[in-house]
Chains A and B, each alone.
Chain A
Amino acid sequence: MKPIWTIAKRELAAYFTSPVAYVFLVIFLLLTGFFTFTAGNFFERGEASLAAFFGWHPWLYLVLVPAVGMRVWAEERRSGTIELLLTMPVATWQAILAKFLASWIFLALALLLTFPAIVTVNILGDPDNGIIAAGYIGSFLLAGAYLAIACMTSAMTRNQVVAFILAVVVCLFLVLAGFNPVTDLMVRWASPAVVDTVAAFSVVTHYDAFQRGVIDSRDLLFFLSVIGFALFATGVIIRGHRSG
């Protein structure tokens, strides 16, 4: 456990010693604000909920989370520090998990800084704070799933831009598989069973349940499996590089 904490601490500190963290936080908060209050018609909805806020997260994260995750392994490989890290008495899985957790904690911090949205909705009306809490949990898990995928693509290349684009593409697929306009199109030529199966792989399908205030163990399991699978794949990719 200790090496995981040591590495995670270093990774978190690395975000804040460069301007990356601050730029990210500012952009994230500006965009969530814009999407919630302007594009999401927060006021016109006339309901005391954060649906306008959470509804945009799968799209917002699509760009922002890969931006956080792209450097995780690509930078280690580019600068050669991966050799230093993996010759320390640390198991590869510990390093992978530590780096993932550090970035996830950073994303959690960004998410926590959206608390004015909760305050606003509570002042204006009488929302169901249980649903809001479930929404935050769903949003956090969604960010984790994207992040794990970004870690995986980051391990594939020493070029951060390539890692970013790959992550966006993979995440986009996970969104579109359950996005209504896409499923509606698919229904025309595929059997409902196929459409449902594909949609079951989508983060949107599972994310929506949380926004309704339902914390289902199947949805929880889905996000944790995506994270688990992507991190496992990261390990395989890193092992592949070292084997040559």
Chain B
Amino acid sequence: MIRIENLVKTFGPKRAVDGVSFNVERGEVLGFLGPNGAGKSTTMRMITGFMPPTSGKVTVGGHDVAESPLEAKRLIGYLPESAASYADMTVRGFLNFAAELRGLRGDARRRAVERVIELCFLRGVVRQSIDTLSKGYRQRTCLAQALIHDPEVLVMDEPTEGLDPNQKHELRNLIRRLGESKAIVFSTHILEEVDAACTRAIIIDRGKIVANGTPEELRSMSALAGAVTLSAHGANAEKLSSVGRVEDLGGAFRIYPREKSDASALAQAVVDLVAAEGWKVEGMYSERGELDEVFRRITLPDTAK
């Protein structure tokens, strides 16, 4: 649904987005990760047609955003950064306005507004003016606006920003559910969200894509991935070093595979060793790798890649 080819955006001498290309298909939820100022918002603004790219091309549902912006925009629902909305309007008034701009009239409009009020749990505040709402409700009101025409493409800039943990949880579930039938891109810098809602994640740093894969693939880039942590009575580092590289965690040992390709065999090797030595196992688990660590490693300029 979304095709991005070699997208570049410069602000003066600064290249905010520097040759970004990726596709998002229907049924995909793409998490857009990156440190602050990495170019996430700028990329999203170019997808939604708010900013023209310096060079490169964005097509949404086959429509070039630069050449036929209205056709492309009709397919997109957009939740901008900080959930901007007209503070002087009531929630219902605002949603009616958005529905009308999306070309919904009469009965269709009423049904669409009711649908998003239910979907985003806004029933209790429909008559309230937006400036009296809490951050969470404001976010949901703006999300409701983005969903009002049941768009095929949903673009959200930090949708869970400012929500409490319960609301975050609900929103992630909603994103996952919507993602079954739509193409969704959302940006975040909260890594757990990638696990909770995404089918794929892209990490962007200083305008460039530095990683692109499923959460599982990204996690396996972690140095920790495939390591086995063992805490067992009687275990010692010397014996363990026969199966892999050992790190003493104080009370427990972490054994890293010598080669990434040995990772699957490592756990078995450790189990065999424990059985042979007759150690009393208190705990043992295989590490999946941590997204945090991957994120830090590829986006921090001073850590070696």
Partners in one complex: yes
Q: Tell me if A10 and B86 are in contact (CB < 8 A).
A: yes
Note all chain B residues with C-beta closer than 8 A to A86.
49-50
B9 on the interface (CB 8 Å rule)? yes
Q: Tell me if B82 and A87 are in contact (CB < 8 A).
A: no
Contacts known (A14-B88, A86-B50); A80 close to B81, Cβ less than 8 A: yes
A83 on the interface (CB 8 Å rule)? yes
Interface flags, A75-119, vs B, CB<8A=1, else 0: 000011101101111110000000000000000000000000000
Note all chain B residues with C-beta closer than 8 A to A79.
84, 86-87
CB distance from B184 to the nearest CB of A (A): 16
Contacts known (A6-B100, A87-B50); A18 close to B78, Cβ less than 8 A: no
Contact of A242 among B16, B50, B93, B145 (CB under 8 A): B50
B190 on the interface (CB 8 Å rule)? no
B103 on the interface (CB 8 Å rule)? yes
Rounded to whole angstroms, the CA-CA distance of A86 and B76 in the bound complex is 12
Note all chain A residues with C-beta closer than 8 A to B70.
89-91
Contacts known (A81-B84, A87-B48); A7 close to B101, Cβ less than 8 A: yes
Contact of A244 among B9, B49, B69 (CB under 8 A): B9
Q: Tell me if B102 and A83 are in contact (CB < 8 A).
A: no
Contact of B76 among A6, A80, A81, A87 (CB under 8 A): A87
Interface hub of A3, A10, A88, A91 (most chain B Cβ within 10 A): A88
Rounded to whole angstroms, the CA-CA distance of A81 and B89 in the bound complex is 12
Note all chain B residues with C-beta closer than 8 A to A89.
70, 73-74, 101-103
Rounded to whole angstroms, the CA-CA distance of A91 and B80 in the bound complex is 18
CB-contacts of B4-59 with A (<8 A): 9-11, 16, 45, 48-52
A243 on the interface (CB 8 Å rule)? yes
B199 on the interface (CB 8 Å rule)? no
CB-contacts of B86-139 with A (<8 A): 86-89, 93, 97-98, 100-103, 129
Look across to chain B and name the residue whose beta carbon is closest to the beta carbon of A92: B69
Rounded to whole angstroms, the CA-CA distance of A14 and B86 in the bound complex is 9
Q: Tell me if B73 and A88 are in contact (CB < 8 A).
A: yes
Rounded to whole angstroms, the CA-CA distance of A81 and B86 in the bound complex is 7
Total number of B residues with any Cβ neighbor in A under 8 Å? 35
Q: Tell me if B84 and A87 are in contact (CB < 8 A).
A: no
Note all chain B residues with C-beta closer than 8 A to A14.
86, 88-89
CB distance from A31 to the nearest CB of B (A): 26
Rounded to whole angstroms, the CA-CA distance of A96 and B305 in the bound complex is 49
Q: Tell me if A80 and B101 are in contact (CB < 8 A).
A: no
Look across to chain A and name the residue whose beta carbon is closest to the beta carbon of B14: A244
Note all chain A residues with C-beta closer than 8 A to B81.
80, 83
A191 on the interface (CB 8 Å rule)? no
Rounded to whole angstroms, the CA-CA distance of A84 and B144 in the bound complex is 13
Contact of B82 among A13, A80, A90 (CB under 8 A): A80
Contact of B102 among A13, A17, A18, A88 (CB under 8 A): A88
Contact of B49 among A7, A17, A18, A87 (CB under 8 A): A87
CB distance from B52 to the nearest CB of A (A): 6
Interface flags, A1-18, vs B, CB<8A=1, else 0: 011001100100110011
Note all chain B residues with C-beta closer than 8 A to A10.
86, 89, 97
Rounded to whole angstroms, the CA-CA distance of A84 and B79 in the bound complex is 8
CB distance from B225 to the nearest CB of A (A): 39
Look across to chain B and name the residue whose beta carbon is closest to the beta carbon of A242: B51
Interface hub of A6, A84, A244 (most chain B Cβ within 10 A): A84
CB distance from B209 to the nearest CB of A (A): 21
Q: Tell me if B101 and A3 are in contact (CB < 8 A).
A: yes
Rounded to whole angstroms, the CA-CA distance of A85 and B157 in the bound complex is 16
Q: Tell me if A84 and B78 are in contact (CB < 8 A).
A: yes
CB distance from A80 to the nearest CB of B (A): 3
- The contact sample of 6 A-B pairs, CB cut-off 8 A, is A87-B50, A87-B73, A88-B101, A90-B101, A91-B69, A243-B51
The 4 closest A-B pairs by CB, nearest first: A80-B84, A87-B48, A83-B80, A89-B73
Contacts beyond the supplied A81-B84, A88-B102, A89-B102: 8 A-B pairs with Cβ under 8 Å: A17-B88, A17-B89, A83-B50, A83-B84, A84-B85, A87-B50, A89-B70, A89-B74
